[in-house]
Amino acid sequence: MKKFLATFLSVATLTSCSLTEPIPVKGEVVSCESIRVSPSTDAPLECLGGGEGAAVSAIRGPAIVNVWGTWCKPCRQELPHLAHYLAQHPKGAKVIGIAVEEKSPAVVKKFVETHGITWPILYDADGSTRETFGMGVPVTWFIDSSGRVAYKKFGPFKSLEEIEMATIKYLGVK
């Protein structure tokens, strides 16, 4: 029995996940209270977690604003990396999602709960962010504390390290 256990542990260790693989997390629809905003005359986007939403132009960082859709395969592939970032850096940049081109808030809420999303999600019901972010997703903006867009990333993140490096480089935080 000891020999079997030793063999099993050796195989498990050799084939286990590396530190760069996403951490599976149960999703949760969360409040947008943690989003830092300044006063704005722009119309706010609805917050899926209830309460006040936020206008994109009013968001203050350090923040990672990720525009995505439930229907977008590259978006779904990068979500675990964003979840891993939050798990590894709870005091780092805030992650804020903006769900676009969706059928309803209920569809997005269900997706959030089943796909490991644990950050505030703004819901773009009428496509108003298309003018700001463009047509393709995923798009991610790194917003500094003054509200300036420090970096725009088009396409999905492929790893936790890629997010960490961009956050350090453009926002000065890990």
- Assigned domain for 41 exists: yes
- Assigned domain for 12 exists: no
Give the pLDDT confidence score for residue 51 in this predicted structure.
84
- Assigned domain for 34 exists: yes
Under 8 Å between Cβ of 120 and 49: yes
Q: What is the DSSP letter of 92?
A: S
Residues 6+ apart with CB under 8 A from 24: 80, 116
At 90, is the secondary structure helix, strand, or coil?
A: coil
**Closest C-alpha to 148, from 61, 64, 33:** 61
Look over the chain and give the mean of its residue pLDDT values, rounded to a whole number.
Answer: 87
- Assigned domain for 156 exists: yes
Domain count for the chain: 1
- Assigned domain for 88 exists: yes
- Assigned domain for 9 exists: no
- Assigned domain for 141 exists: yes
CATH number (domain holding residue 128): 3.40.30.10
Tell me the residue range of the domain where 149 lies: 22-171
Question: Confidence band (pLDDT; 50, 70, 90) for 115?
Answer: very high
Q: Per-residue pLDDT tens for 10-33?
A: 444 444 444 444 445 588 999 999
Residue 160 has pLDDT above 80, yes or no: yes
- Assigned domain for 125 exists: yes
